[in-house]
Structure 1
Amino acid sequence: MKNIIITNFTDPVCIWCWGTEPVFRALETHYPDQIEFRYVMGGLVDDIDNFADPGNGIDAGSDGANAQIVSHWLEAAQQHGMPVKPEGFHLFSKEFPSTYPQNIAYKAAQMVDPLKADALLRRIREATLTEAKVTSDPDVLIELASDVGLDSAVFMSALKSSEAQQAFQEDLRQTQKAGVDVFPSFLIRNAEGGDVLLRGYMGFADFQQAISSLTDGSMIPTEVAPSATLLYTLLDKHPRLAFEEVYRAFDFTSREQTHRWLKDLIDTRLLEKEAVGPSYFIRKGM
């Protein structure tokens, strides 16, 4: 058992959950092998025509919510740094009004291969936020499952099963029981069962403070100098990393230093670069 368990109450298409990815990369590198990450599906949008988030200007239903959501996402991306692709975004419609299918897909993946479920969750986030795919479409979900190595036929069967639906309903009950009413939220628990719930988007310093409090100051982050070897190890687990994730994972002095460091690795073909708007992803080179 790890020293700390972080349970992330989330939804696969939540923009601030996407923005938490760099924070999690920083936690992975600065607290190596000390934290276990778990995910509970919270179901952000049951039906877009009955959904309203007036604080973020989202209330137009299937007829106009897509444009409102893109506007909100671009504003959020300015704060958390993760890439967003607004061109062609059309996630919600009368045919596909909900994010529940994406949540159920994660539970189906856990049934098929628990070791690949988190990879599918990540892939759904990428496809939704940076590729403008309609990830509530079962055909798209099956394609994404195949991308992360899940057997398409087995996954499709699980996706359609009552067991996956029931597992998602259990996650919804767990979310309600925990008192979670905003995504993301994080239940941080120590080995003795003590815990604290953080609501909303949090930075690395917020987690550091909570972890220190729960461990009486015994768990402190290590220094992590930029290292191609460590980056490759991170890419073994997360094959496609956004620039912001790399920046947060290591102790760079600035984003400019990060760009220069990555450019050297890209120029020597140790990494491949994939542009997304003003930012980019990197993956292992040939």
Structure 2
Amino acid sequence: MTAGGPLTVVEFTDPACPWAWGSEPKFRWLRAALTGPDGRGARWRRVFGILFDDDDDPAPDPDAEAAWYQRYIADIAAHTAAPYAPRLRWVARSSWPSSLAARAAEAQGAEVAEPVLRRLRETTFLLGAPADRAETVLDAVTGVPGLDHARLSRDLASEEVRSAVRRDWEETRDPFPEVLTIAGPGPHPGRAKEAGERYRFALPTLVFTGPAGRAVVPGWRELDEYVEAAERVAPGVRLTAPRRSAAELLDRHRSLTGPDLVLLAGSTDPPPGAVRVDGVGGPVWLHPSEAATHPALRG
């Protein structure tokens, strides 16, 4: 990225959102292009939108709901090519525990927060058992390198972290006017969703803000649309991400899907020594040290 003034990216997401899971390869590319290896450049901020809220009505038939949502995930995967669990055992009862943990992990730095969030996503899309209670969240992230597990346990229960995620909840439910009337084509054009008596940003949504204004890119979009938005609001910025080998990507990210490899490495060949965990539609490749503590492989 060449310097063109300050650029901020806000990502509205949820650990259990299937569209966000499918968008991860593009967002990994964008983060690499925007922030660079030295950590300077654009500022990227996540907002946890709480897809499944605590006051949502419980399903009268949880098994039927899980079967329906499994079909919904499969329909989305037909567009994203993201792998998913062969069986979804239940639909996440709440997004709060995983969102609190993901926010709390940010205090320990990006090198910890990124694999923590990835693990939390994988409880739904690799295990089929969403981490939706504090105990299951803490179990899922056990063994993440560099993670101070005791600190995470304290922080996710803190009022400070809950207040931060509550602000995320509010920010998500204050969508910009331009996303209220989107009627574009596509499987997920990103029109704001009804949420009780309010509306919320569709997940995922990226908001780019720079010297030349604001650009909102909601829903399921091609990589070129994100690049164009960033370059439009920050004149002079030119986004490129270095092509890395599969081995380098595995060392960096610790968990890779087929679409990650295609976009970031330009190949479908798995990284040497990676541990394969099969999902519907393709595998997830884990770094050996990640596999050693990953809940998909325990026992």
Distance change in 2, residues 1:223/1:175 (3 Å): closer
Distance change in 2, residues 1:238/1:35 (3 Å): farther
CA distance in 2, matches of 1:22, 1:223: 12
Aligned pairs for 1:69-148 within 5 A: 69-92=69-92, 97-111=93-107, 113-115=108-110, 116-148=112-144
CA distance in 1, matches of 2:87, 2:63: 17
Higher helix share: 1
Does structure 1 residue 176 correspond to structure 2 residue 173?
yes
CA distance in 2, matches of 1:240, 1:45: 25
Aligned pairs for 1:252-267 within 5 A: 252=266, 258-259=267-268, 262=269, 266=272
Distance change in 2, residues 1:247/1:31 (3 Å): farther
Aligned pairs for 1:35-54 within 5 A: 35-47=42-54, 49-50=56-57
- Secondary structure of 1:147 counterpart: coil
Match of 1:56 in 2: none
Mapped contact 2:70–2:87 kept (Cα < 8 A): no
CA distance in 1, matches of 2:96, 2:138: 15
- Secondary structure of 1:8 counterpart: strand
Match of 1:279 in 2: 282
Which ranges in structure 1 are unaligned for 5 or more consecutive residues? 52-58, 253-257
Superposed CA deviations along residues 137-171 of structure 1, whole A, max 9, x for unmatched, are 22221122323242232222222222221111111
Residue type at the aligned position of 1:65: E
- Secondary structure of 1:173 counterpart: helix
| Pairwise CA distance, 1:61 | 6.5
CA RMSD of aligned residues (A): 2.8
Q: Identity of paired residues, percent? A: 22
Distance change in 2, residues 1:161/1:194 (3 Å): same
Superposed CA deviations along residues 26-48 of structure 1, whole A, max 9, x for unmatched, are 32455571544321111111148
Superposed CA deviations along residues 42-92 of structure 1, whole A, max 9, x for unmatched, are 1111148538xxxxxxx8674532111111101101111111013252234
CA distance in 1, matches of 2:208, 2:137: 30
Superposed CA deviations along residues 226-272 of structure 1, whole A, max 9, x for unmatched, are x52xx43333331111111110114x4xxxxx33xx15x54xx4x44
CA distance in 1, matches of 2:90, 2:99: 18
- 2:29 pairs, out of 26, 40, 44, with 26
Aligned pairs for 1:234-245 within 5 A: 234-245=249-260
Match of 2:152 in 1: 155
CA distance in 1, matches of 2:281, 2:95: 27
Superposed CA deviations along residues 189-245 of structure 1, whole A, max 9, x for unmatched, are 22x3732122212220110211221233x33344755x52xx433333311111111
Which ranges in structure 2 are unaligned for 5 or more consecutive residues? 177-199, 290-299
Residue type at the aligned position of 2:280: G
Mapped contact 2:231–2:239 kept (Cα < 8 A): no
Match of 1:198 in 2: 217
Judge which range, 236-245 or 62-71, deviates more. 62-71
Distance change in 2, residues 1:142/1:157 (3 Å): same
| Pairwise CA distance, 1:14 | 0.4
Distance change in 2, residues 1:48/1:173 (3 Å): closer
CA distance in 1, matches of 2:249, 2:7: 20
TM-score if structure 1 supplies the norm length?
0.78
CA distance in 2, matches of 1:160, 1:29: 31
CA distance in 1, matches of 2:116, 2:218: 24
Distance change in 2, residues 1:27/1:49 (3 Å): closer
CA distance in 2, matches of 1:64, 1:141: 24
Superposed CA deviations along residues 85-114 of structure 1, whole A, max 9, x for unmatched, are 13252234xxxx322221122222234x13
Distance change in 2, residues 1:185/1:144 (3 Å): same
Residue type at the aligned position of 1:213: R
Match of 1:67 in 2: 67
Mapped contact 1:30–1:249 kept (Cα < 8 A): no
